[in-house]
Amino acid sequence: MWLKIRPYLLLMPAVGLTLLLFFGGLALGLLQSLGLFSISGGSSFTFEWYQTLLVDQAFWKSFWLSFYTAGISTLISAVLGILTALGLLRLSYKWQRMTQFALLVPHFIAGYVVILLFMQSGWVSRWLHAFGLIDSIEQFPILVNDPFGWGVILTYIWKETPFIALMVYPVLARIYQSWLEVAQTLGASRLSFFREIVLPLVLPAWLASALIVLAFTFSAFEVPYLLGVTFPETLSVFSYQTYLSGSLEERPLALAVNFLLAVATGFLGWIAYQWSKRWSVQGWKGW
Amino acid sequence: MKLSIIKFLVVLGILFFLAPLVLTSLSAGWRWPMLWPAEISWRSWEYLFSGQSQTGIAVFNSLLIACGVTIVNLGLAIPAAYGLIRFPLKGKLIVQIILFAPLVIPPFVSLMGIHFTFIRLGLTESLPGLILAHLTPTLPYMIWALLSSYRTVGPEWEEQARMLGANGLQRMIHVVIPFLLPGILAGSSLSILVSLSQYLITFLIGGGQVITLPILLFPFISGGDPALGAAYALLFIGMAFLALFILDCLLKWSYRRVN
Amino acid sequence: MLMIEKLEKKYQTDREFILLVDDLQLQEGEFFALLGESGSGKTTLLKLIAGLLMPDRGDLFLNGKPISGLPAEKRGFSMVFQQPLLFPHMNILDNVTFGLKMKGIGKQERNAKGMEILKKMGLSGFEKRYPSQLSGGQQQRVALGRSLVTQPRLLLMDEPFSSLDPTTREEMRDWLREIHRSFGVTILFVTHDPREAFYLADRIGIMDEGVLVQLDEPRKLYEQPVNVKTAKLLGIRNLIAGRVKQGRFVSDSGVIELQLHGQDLEGYLMILPEAIRMRKGGVAGAEELPGTISQIAFVPGFSSLKVEIGKERLEVMQRMEDSYAWSVGESVLLAFNQEALRFIRK
C-alpha cells in the first residue's frame, strides 16, 4: 500500500501547489470573466464580457498586432537560431558559454538596449550619420514605439535566437557526432548531409522550440509595453491597461482577454509537446 | 564560415549590446549626432550608490525573494522529480502537463485571476506573498533541471546502496543528493535568474510597495532618466552574472567531486 | 591497389602519439586485418585512409594516383563502423540506397539495386521496416549492405562486430567471409581480437603505439612474432624469459633448460601449447622436463592444463581423445617438439 501511493505522495506538494496557485488562478480568472465572484459585488453568470470583446474593433486590432509581431519574430528567430546553433558546433565550450550571456539578460533590459540602439537619436542612427548615410535625425526610420511594432520584433529576435539555438544545439551536436562520418564515407557532401539527415532529425526539436517562442512572444507583456505605442496595443498590454487603469467593473474584461491568451498559449504548448514526443514515438535507438 | 568570423560575431554582438548601456550611463546631454558622449559624467552611478536611491533595499529584496523561492522550489521539486522518474505512475502525462503548463501559459494571466484572493488573505505587498507569486514561473525550470539530472544517474547506484544495507534516508543523503548536486545547482541558477527578472508579477502582488530591482528600474527605462536606466540595467546584469558565476563555480566543483 | 607512403599524423588518446606508417600496400581483392590494442592508432590509420582525417605528412595512392587531397565523400571507399549508425528516420531500403542517392542515381534504379543487395544480405522483406525494429546483427548487416551497394573500391571496417553478442559475432564472421568471396571486394578490417583477425584475414598488420610493427600472413605471424608484445597481442601465452648459450636455452629461473640452436642472445622462449607432449610422471628421458599439474580447465575437445615447473608455469593443450583423466597435483613429464620452439630476441 505504502509503496503504491509513495510516488503520489512525493508529487503531491509540487502538483498541489501548482494546481492551487496556477490553475486556481486560471479558474478564478475564468469565473470572474463570466461574471461570477465579481469584486464589485454581485454575481451572475454572463457571456457579456466575451461578447463585448468579440465585437470590439480594438480587440481585433490587438489580436492581429500580437499575432503578426509574434509570428514574424518567431520565423526569423527560428532561422537565425538554427544558423547560430550550426556556428556553435564549431566553437569550444568556453565560447559557447559566452553566447549564453544572451539568456542572462531579461527581456525588458534587451528591450531597453533596442531602444538605445534604434530610436531616431539612437546609436545606430549616429553611426549611419558618421558614415555619411543620413544627414538629419528624421531620415532614420521610426523603429521604436512605432505602430507596426518593429522595435518589439527586433527585441524578440535578439532574445529568442539564442534561445532556439541552445534548444536545438544538443540535438544538432548529437546528429553530427553520430552520422557525419558514415554519411561522408557514403559519398554525402556537407550540404546533402544537412538536407538528408540533419534537417529531418532536428525538425521536431526545432519546431517545438519555435512554437514555445511563438506562445511566449504572443502573450508576453514587458517588451510591447516598453517598445509599443498606446494604440494599437498587444493583447497582454490591453489586458494590463484594462486591469489596472480601468475601473473595477471593467476587470472581468481583462480576465476574459487573459483566458483567451491562456487557451491560445496552452494550445501552442500542446502542439509543441506532441512534436517533441515524435522522438520517442518512432523509438529512434542510438540516441 | 571561418571560425574566426564566428568568434568575431559573438564578441561584436556582446559589445554592441553593452556599449550603448555603458555610454548612456556615463552621459549627460549626449546630443545627436555625436558618436560618443562629449564628457563623461558619473552622476547616475553616484546617485545609484547614494543613500538617496533605494538601490540597497532593492538588491536585498530581489536576492531575498530569489533565494526564498529557490529554497521552496528545491523542497517541492526534489521529491516530485524523484516520483516522476523512479516509479511507474498512472496519469504521468497529466502530472507533467500540470507541472510544465506555467512554461507556456504566461503566469501573469493566472495571477490576475488570483490577485483578489491574495488581497483578501493579506498576501499582497509582502515578501511571503511575492515568494509565493514567484513560485509559478520558476518551479517548472527547477523540476526540468532535476529530471534531467535524475535521468543521468540511473537507479543502479541506489540498488547497490540498498544491497549494502542503506535505508531510504541514508540512500537519499549519501547517494541521491550527491549525484543530484549538478542538477540542483543548474535548477537553482535558472530559478534565481527567472525570479530576478520578474517585473509584472512583482508589480501586481507587491503593489509597488516592495521594491525590487526590476520595480526600481522599470520607470527609468520606460521614458525616465536614460542615464539612470542604463546604470540600473548594468547593475542588474552584473548582479545576475555574479549570482550565476558563483553557482557555476559550485557546479564545476561538484562535478569534480562526482567524477 | 592502395599504397601508403610515409604517412604521419599526431593523435591523442590518453596521451599524445604520432602515427607513422612508412609503407603499406594492399592487394586487389585481399582481406587485410589491422590488429592492435586500443590506442595503437589502428582506427586513426583507418580514418586517414577513409579521408575522415587528413594526414600531417605523407601520401596515399590508389592505383598509382594520389588521393591525399580528396575528401572522404569523393574517394569512392565506404566504411562500416562499430555501431551500425543507420539513419533512424529512414526505412531499411532508404538506408541501403543512401549512397546511390548521393551519387545522383534515379529512384527506380536505386531501389532495384537496394532490393537486390538486401536479398544478398538475407534481409528480403525488411525493406519497409525502420532500424529500431531490427536486432543488432541485422542492423550491422544492413550497414554492410549500405556500404557494398555503391561498389566501393575499398571497404573499411572498424571493429564492426565488437558490439554484438558472441554467438552473433561468430555467425557474422562466417557470413563476412562469404560476402568477401562473392563480392570480391578489397577489405581493410580493424580489430583488437587476434582470433577474429586469424579467422578472417589473408594478411595481418600489427600496430603498436602508432607504428606498423609487423605484417605477414596469419600463420607466419603466429609462428614468428617479431617481439614479446606482439606475441602477447596474438594471444600466445607461454613466453619464458631466459638466454641462449652454446646451443642451449636456459630460463632466468634456471629450471627450464632445452636444446635450442642459435646465437648467444637474451630474450624469450615461445612454446606453443599444442607443441607440448605430456605423459604421466616417472623417469625423465633426454630433453624431458618434470612438472606438476596445478589447474585443469575443459575447453570443448581439449583439456587446457597449467603445469608448474619450479617457478615457471606453462599452458598445455591436450586432446581429450584418450580416456585418461588428468588430475590436479599429478606429476607429469613434458616433451617439446623442437620445430615449434621459437626464440624471440629482447
Paired residues of C212 in beta bridges: C207
Of the candidates A185, A187, A197, the beta carbon closest to that of C87 is on A197
Domain final residue, candidates C205, C233, C261: C233
Overall fold of domain A48-279: MetI-like fold (1.10.3720)
Tell whether B35 is within 8 A of chain A (Cβ): yes
Q: How far is B51 from chain A (nearest CA, A)?
A: 24
Q: Strand order of the sheet with strand C2-12?
A: C65-66, C57-62, C2-12, C16-26, C211-216, C203-208, C31-36, C187-191, C154-158, C77-80
- Picking from A35-39, A58-62, C144-148, C256-260, which range would have the lowest pLDDT averaged per residue? A35-39
In the complex, which subunits touch B with 3 or more CB pairs below 8 angstroms?
Answer: A
Whether the pLDDT of residue A183 is over 50: the answer is: yes
Q: Domain locations in chain A?
A: 48-279
**Banded pLDDT at B4 (limits 50, 70, 90):** confident
Whether the pLDDT of residue A240 is over 90: the answer is: yes
- For residues C7 and C156, membership in a common domain is answered with yes
A121-173 tens-digit pLDDT = 999 999 999 999 999 999 999 999 999 999 999 999 999 999 999 889 988 99
Domain final residue, candidates C233, C253, C278: C233
Tell whether A104 is within 8 A of chain B (Cβ): yes
Which B residues in the span 137-166 are in contact with A, Cβ-Cβ below 8 Å? 139, 143
Q: Taking CB atoms and an 8 Å cutoff, what residues of chain A touch C84?
A: 286
- Identify which of B134-138, B175-179, B224-228, C132-136 has the greatest average pLDDT: B134-138
Distances in Å between the Cα of C271 and the Cα atoms of A58, C61, C314 are 96, 40, 8
- For residues C200 and C248, membership in a common domain is answered with no
Among C3, C40, C18, C343, which Cα is nearest to C214's?
C40
Taking the domain B52-258, which CATH number applies?
Answer: 1.10.3720.10
Residue C163: phi, psi to the nearest 5?
-95, 10
Interface mutation vs chain A, best among C85, C107, C188, most A CBs within 10 Å: C85
Record: contact B80-A7, CB cut-off 8 A: no
Nearest CA in chain B to A103: B193
What's the whole-number mean pLDDT along residues C43-53?
92
Distances in Å between the Cα of B147 and the Cα atoms of B77, B84, B154, B182, C240 are 9, 8, 11, 11, 56
Whether the pLDDT of residue C41 is over 70: the answer is: yes
**Banded pLDDT at A39 (limits 50, 70, 90):** low
Indicate contact of C with B: 3+ CB pairs under 8 A: no
Q: How far is A186 from chain B (nearest CA, A)?
A: 24
Whether the pLDDT of residue B258 is over 70: the answer is: no
- For residues C196 and C289, membership in a common domain is answered with no
What's the whole-number mean pLDDT along residues A190-214?
92
Tell whether A179 is within 8 A of chain C (Cβ): yes
Please count the residue pairs, one from chain A and one from chain C, whose beta carbons lie less than 8 angstroms apart.
Answer: 72
Tell whether B169 is within 8 A of chain A (Cβ): no
- In this prediction, residue A284 carries a pLDDT of 46
Q: How far is A171 from chain C (nearest CA, A)?
A: 14
- For residues C257 and C197, membership in a common domain is answered with no
Interface mutation vs chain C, best among A185, A195, A197, A202, most C CBs within 10 Å: A185
Mean pLDDT for chain C?
A: 89
Please count the residue pairs, one from chain A and one from chain B, whose beta carbons lie less than 8 angstroms apart.
Answer: 223
Among C173, C207, C172, which Cα is nearest to C49's?
C207
- For residues C149 and C244, membership in a common domain is answered with no
- Picking from A133-142, C75-84, C294-303, which range would have the lowest pLDDT averaged per residue? C294-303
Q: Taking CB atoms and an 8 Å cutoff, what residues of chain A touch B145?
A: none
- Where do we find the cell 521496416? C129
Q: Higher-confidence residue: A99 or A49?
A: A49
- For residues C314 and C200, membership in a common domain is answered with no
Tell whether A252 is within 8 A of chain B (Cβ): no
Tell whether B241 is within 8 A of chain A (Cβ): yes
- In this prediction, residue C258 carries a pLDDT of 82
Tell whether A116 is within 8 A of chain B (Cβ): yes
pLDDT > 90 in chain A, percent? 63
- In this prediction, residue C287 carries a pLDDT of 80
pLDDT > 70 in chain A, percent? 94
Record: contact A21-B110, CB cut-off 8 A: yes
Q: For A221-278, give the DSSP string.
A: -HHHHHHS-SSS--HHHHHHHHHHHS-GGGHHHHHHHHHHHHHHHHHHHHHHHHHHHH
B79-119 tens-digit pLDDT = 999 899 888 888 888 999 999 999 999 999 999 999 999 99
C102-127 tens-digit pLDDT = 989 999 999 999 999 999 888 999 99
**Assembly ipTM:** 0.90
Tell whether A280 is within 8 A of chain C (Cβ): no
What's the whole-number mean pLDDT along residues B109-132?
93
B171-200 tens-digit pLDDT = 888 888 888 888 999 999 999 999 999 999
Mean pLDDT for chain A?
A: 89
C226-275 tens-digit pLDDT = 888 899 898 888 888 888 888 888 888 877 788 887 778 888 988 888 77
Q: How far is A273 from chain C (nearest CA, A)?
A: 19
Q: Taking CB atoms and an 8 Å cutoff, what residues of chain A touch B34?
A: 126
Q: Domain locations in chain B?
A: 1-41, 52-258
- In this prediction, residue C322 carries a pLDDT of 64
**Banded pLDDT at A282 (limits 50, 70, 90):** very low
Record: contact A184-C51, CB cut-off 8 A: yes
What's the whole-number mean pLDDT along residues B48-60?
90
Question: Which residue segment(s) compose the domain that C116 sits in?
Answer: 2-233
Nearest CA in chain A to C88: A284
Please state, in angstroms and rounded to a whole number, the distance separating the CA atoms of residues B258 and C20: 38
Nearest CA in chain A to B237: A105
Record: contact B7-A95, CB cut-off 8 A: yes
Number of folded domains that form chain C: 2
Whether the pLDDT of residue C299 is over 90: the answer is: no
Please state, in angstroms and rounded to a whole number, the distance separating the CA atoms of residues C325 and B183: 61
The rounded Cα C158 to chain-centroid distance in angstroms is: 11
Q: How far is A93 from chain C (nearest CA, A)?
A: 19
Q: How far is B125 from chain A (nearest CA, A)?
A: 16
Q: Taking CB atoms and an 8 Å cutoff, what residues of chain C touch A183?
A: 98
Tell whether A222 is within 8 A of chain B (Cβ): yes
- For residues C151 and C69, membership in a common domain is answered with yes
- In this prediction, residue A41 carries a pLDDT of 67
What's the whole-number mean pLDDT along residues C5-28?
87
The rounded Cα B16 to chain-centroid distance in angstroms is: 24
Alpha helices in chain C (DSSP H): 42-50, 92-96, 98-102, 107-120, 136-148, 166-183, 194-200, 218-223, 228-233
What's the whole-number mean pLDDT along residues B8-20?
85
Q: How far is C234 from chain A (nearest CA, A)?
A: 30
**Banded pLDDT at A287 (limits 50, 70, 90):** very low
